[in-house]
Structure 1
Amino acid sequence: MTAFDKLMAFQRETSALGQIAGRLGWDQETVMPRGAAPQRAEEMAAIEAVLHARRSDPRVAEWLDQAAPQDEVGKAQLREIRRAYDRAVKVPADLATAIARTTSAAQGTWAQARADEDVSAFVPVLEEVVSLKRQEGEALAQGGDVYDAMVEDYEPYTTGAQIAAIFDEMRPRLVALRAAVLERPEPAALTGSFDELTQMRLTQKLAVAFGYDLNNGRVDKAVHPFSSGSGLDVRITTRTSETDPFNCFFSTIHEVGHAAYEQGIDRDYLLTPLGRGVSMGVHESQSRIYENQLGRSRAFTGWLFDQMKDAFGDFGIADADAFYATVNRVHNGYIRTEADEVQYNLHIMLRFDLERALMAGDLQVNELEAAWNDRFKADFGYAVDKPSNGCLQDVHWSVGLFGYFPTYSLGNVYAGCLYQALRAAVPGLDAQLADGDTSGATAWLREHVQQHGGLYAPREIIRRASGIEPGPEPLLDYLEQKFSGLYGL
């Protein structure tokens, strides 16, 4: 075996162990008994110790120095292995293990605090998480910006300053559009009761309609919807509310976007660094374009309206046009995952600024609730009514995902670029979506984005697929056109 062959065999074993760790996480959020949390924390810490040892194994450096890849794919594999190795060796093993143990336990503490509306119960464990993640960020940054080092985990080759510049460009047009829309009459909201088992049956149908392969996946319920796994085992979760089936349906479509990306990657890359999505921003581009540009389109909501009538009978919305307006209703609300397209990115900007301040030490954890509430009031014009609608609503910080939140909005930006190209490439798109057929869109995304996995850097894959330099203009143009039409602006 050549050095390259030895390196790739070692990487496949490491990736397989990583998938096992991911499956433990899936189990914890779906079916694990609550009382098992302390043991699961030790299990996660144990497997992280093994993974960290492999990721920082000195043999990896030797193989990297000796490897001679013969093609573009081999060079990309080495690029990603070297990037991961250079990061792994900077983080002490005991710190990596402590983070895994603490974040596993913190997830359960967050869920209970959220249910109890008790921020004080969550503050001590979040302080531990923040302290550990700061230590990790300092180790990775080696004198540079701690938050930049964290962003690198989720959006390689991107800095906090670059993200802030994109957000500064987006904010004025988003705020102006929101102000104009909120001056207009609000479409009717969905009311009534919707059987949750019926929601789950319809959500399975939606998952399949968007190309999710249930032979290699499954749909379960969790407190916070997520997608887990890659390759031949890619699972998603959703959640139900008796009064809000849209939460279930569009969470499912969103997570199917993530899952379809992983299922669509070239199988030759299975269990290698290229065998997963290249970044969370590109991942979010898939979930957001599935959920919004496709799932909330006039064409597709017409089909969904008929499906809901078949499933629930008359549910109080007169026709498909009224249903389209209801699906895309711009309204006051607290929850990021339930936010309309106009206001969603403002929720992300709030979290981005707060977590940057936490990592810089400019904001302390015991000040977070007040800082969140003040910023929310300033940005949205009304007060947070309870912690589960405020700083306890998201799971991300409890599990140490600092640097993750901005990738949601980067995903929206990338989705805007992709959708512009998609519409030009698939001229019959609306007619297909009106029949519940997403295959034209999803096949284009699979060909131009998904199959490549980690072969190209994040901005490069968007540039190749869309034909333009990634930027927020296509997204903002799409939003202004869509909501000007909906609200008669």
Structure 2
Amino acid sequence: MTAFDELMAFQRETSALGQIAGRLGWDQETVMPRGASPQRAEEMAAIEAVLHARRSDPRVAEWLDQAAPQDEVGKAQLREIRRAYDRAVKVPADLATAIARTTSAAQGTWAQARADEDVSAFLPVLEEVVSLKRQEGEVLAQGGDVYDAMVEDYEPCTTGAQIAAIFDEMRPRLVALRAAVLERPEPAALTGSFDELTQMQLTQKLAVAFGYDLNNGRVDKAVHPFSSGSGLDVRITTRTSETDPFNCFYSTIHEVGHAAYEQGIDRDYLLTPLGRGVSMGVHESQSRIYENQLGRSRAFTGWLFDQMKDAFGDFGIADADAFYATVNRVHNGYIRTEADEVQYNLHIMLRFDLERALMAGDLQVSELEAAWNDRFKADFGYAVDKPSNGCLQDVHWSVGLFGYFPTYSLGNVYAGCLYQALRGAVPELDEQLAEGDTTGATAWLREHVQQHGGLYAPREIIQRASGVEPGPEPLLDYLEQKFSGLYGL
């Protein structure tokens, strides 16, 4: 075997162990007994110790020096392995293990604190998580910006300053659009009771309609919807509310976007660095375009209206046009995952600024709830009513995902670029979506984005697919056109 062959064989074993760790995480959020949390924390710490040892194994450096890839794919594999190795060797093994143990335990603490509306019960463990992640960021940054080192895990070659500049460009047009929309009469909200078992039956149908392969996946319920796995085992979760089936349906479509990306990657890349999404921003571009530009379109909501009538009978919405307005209703709300397209990115900007301040040490964990509430009141004009609608609503910080939040809005930006290109490439898109047929859109996305996995850098894959340099203008144009039509602006 050549050095390249030996390196790739070693990497496939490491990736397989990483998939096992991911399956433990899926189990913890879906079916694990509540009392198992302390043991699961030790299990996660143990497997992280093994993974860290492999990722920082000195033989990797030797193989990288000796490997001679023969093609573009081989060069990309080495690029990703070297990037991961250079990061892994900077992090002490005991720190990596401590982070895995603490975040596994913190997840359970967060879930209980959220259920109890008790911020004080969560803050001590969050303090530990923030401290450990700061330490990690400091060793990764090596004198540079700690938050930039965090972002690198989720969106390579992107800095906090670059993200802030994009957000500064987006905010004025978003705020102006929101102000104009909120001056108009609000469409009717969905009311009534919707059987949760029936929701799950329809959500399975939606998952399949968007191309989710249930032979290599499954749909379960969790407190916070998520997608897990890659290759031949890609799982998603959703959640149900008896009074809000949209939460279930659009969480499912969103997570199917993530899952379809992983299922669509070239199988030759299985269990290699290229066999997963290249960044969370690109990942979010898939979930957001599935959920919003496709799933909330006038064409697709017409089909969904008929599906809901078949499933629930008369549910109080007169016709498909009224249903489209209800699905896209711009309204006050606290929850990021339930936010309309106009306001969603403002929720992300809040989290971005707060977590950046936490990593810089400018904001203390003890001050987080007050800082969140003050910022929310300033941005949205009304007060947070309870912690589960405020700083306890998201799982991300409990599991140490600092630097993850801005990728949601980067994904929206990327989705805007992709959708502009998709409309030109598939002129019959609306006719297809009106029949519940997403294959024209999903096949285009699979060909131009998903199949490549990690072959190209994040911004490069978006530029190659869309033909434009990624930027927020296509997204903002789409939002203004859509909501001006909906609200008669």
Confirm or deny a common fold (TM above 0.5). yes
> How far does residue 214 in structure 1 lie from its aligned partner after superposition?
0.0
> How far does residue 27 in structure 1 lie from its aligned partner after superposition?
0.1
> How far does residue 339 in structure 1 lie from its aligned partner after superposition?
0.0
User: Secondary structure of the equivalent of 1:237?
Assistant: strand
Hey, what's the Cα distance between the residues in 1 that align with 2:449 and 2:362? 38
> How far does residue 433 in structure 1 lie from its aligned partner after superposition?
0.0
User: Secondary structure of the equivalent of 1:99?
Assistant: helix
> How far does residue 77 in structure 1 lie from its aligned partner after superposition?
0.1
Q: Percent identity?
A: 97
Tell me the C-alpha RMSD between the 2 structures.
0.1
Report the equivalent of 2:198.
198
Report the equivalent of 2:64.
64
Hey, what's the Cα distance between the residues in 2 that align with 1:168 and 1:393? 25
User: Secondary structure of the equivalent of 1:240?
Assistant: coil
> How far does residue 40 in structure 1 lie from its aligned partner after superposition?
0.1
> How far does residue 205 in structure 1 lie from its aligned partner after superposition?
0.0
> How far does residue 338 in structure 1 lie from its aligned partner after superposition?
0.0
Hey, what's the Cα distance between the residues in 2 that align with 1:80 and 1:111? 34
Hey, what's the Cα distance between the residues in 2 that align with 1:350 and 1:123? 19
> How far does residue 439 in structure 1 lie from its aligned partner after superposition?
0.1
> How far does residue 215 in structure 1 lie from its aligned partner after superposition?
0.0
Report the equivalent of 1:30.
30
Deviations 1:73-93 (A, max 9, x none): 000000000000000000000
Deviations 1:243-288 (A, max 9, x none): 0000000000000000000000000000000000000000000000
Hey, what's the Cα distance between the residues in 1 that align with 2:51 and 2:212? 30
> How far does residue 417 in structure 1 lie from its aligned partner after superposition?
0.1
Hey, what's the Cα distance between the residues in 2 that align with 1:163 and 1:465? 21
> How far does residue 59 in structure 1 lie from its aligned partner after superposition?
0.1
> How far does residue 72 in structure 1 lie from its aligned partner after superposition?
0.1
Report the equivalent of 1:426.
426
Report the equivalent of 1:5.
5
* Structure 1 unaligned residues grouped into runs of 5+: none
User: Secondary structure of the equivalent of 2:228?
Assistant: strand
> How far does residue 479 in structure 1 lie from its aligned partner after superposition?
0.0
Hey, what's the Cα distance between the residues in 2 that align with 1:335 and 1:362? 25
> How far does residue 436 in structure 1 lie from its aligned partner after superposition?
0.1
State the TM-score, normalized to the length of structure 1: 1.00
> How far does residue 188 in structure 1 lie from its aligned partner after superposition?
0.0
* Structure 2 unaligned residues grouped into runs of 5+: none
User: Secondary structure of the equivalent of 1:154?
Assistant: coil
> How far does residue 369 in structure 1 lie from its aligned partner after superposition?
0.1
Deviations 1:411-440 (A, max 9, x none): 000000000000000000000000000000
> How far does residue 326 in structure 1 lie from its aligned partner after superposition?
0.0
> How far does residue 102 in structure 1 lie from its aligned partner after superposition?
0.1
> How far does residue 48 in structure 1 lie from its aligned partner after superposition?
0.0
Deviations 1:393-414 (A, max 9, x none): 0000000000000000000000
User: Secondary structure of the equivalent of 2:236?
Assistant: strand
User: Secondary structure of the equivalent of 2:229?
Assistant: strand
Hey, what's the Cα distance between the residues in 2 that align with 1:264 and 1:217? 13
> How far does residue 126 in structure 1 lie from its aligned partner after superposition?
0.1
User: Secondary structure of the equivalent of 2:240?
Assistant: coil
Deviations 1:294-316 (A, max 9, x none): 00000000000000000000000
Deviations 1:36-74 (A, max 9, x none): 000000000000000000000000000000000000000
> How far does residue 379 in structure 1 lie from its aligned partner after superposition?
0.1
Hey, what's the Cα distance between the residues in 1 that align with 2:36 and 2:331? 40
Hey, what's the Cα distance between the residues in 2 that align with 1:357 and 1:152? 17
Hey, what's the Cα distance between the residues in 2 that align with 1:463 and 1:6? 34
Moved over 6 A (4+): none
> How far does residue 208 in structure 1 lie from its aligned partner after superposition?
0.0
Hey, what's the Cα distance between the residues in 2 that align with 1:363 and 1:120? 17
> How far does residue 138 in structure 1 lie from its aligned partner after superposition?
0.2
State the TM-score, normalized to the length of structure 2: 1.00
Deviations 1:152-194 (A, max 9, x none): 0000000000000000000000000000000000000000000
> How far does residue 148 in structure 1 lie from its aligned partner after superposition?
0.1
Hey, what's the Cα distance between the residues in 1 that align with 2:190 and 2:62? 60
User: Secondary structure of the equivalent of 1:357?
Assistant: helix
Hey, what's the Cα distance between the residues in 1 that align with 2:348 and 2:275? 28
> How far does residue 124 in structure 1 lie from its aligned partner after superposition?
0.2
Hey, what's the Cα distance between the residues in 2 that align with 1:487 and 1:367? 39
> How far does residue 201 in structure 1 lie from its aligned partner after superposition?
0.1
Deviations 1:344-395 (A, max 9, x none): 0000000000000000000000000000000000000000000000000000
> How far does residue 485 in structure 1 lie from its aligned partner after superposition?
0.0
User: Secondary structure of the equivalent of 2:153?
Assistant: helix
User: Secondary structure of the equivalent of 1:207?
Assistant: helix
Hey, what's the Cα distance between the residues in 2 that align with 1:343 and 1:124? 31
User: Secondary structure of the equivalent of 2:237?
Assistant: strand
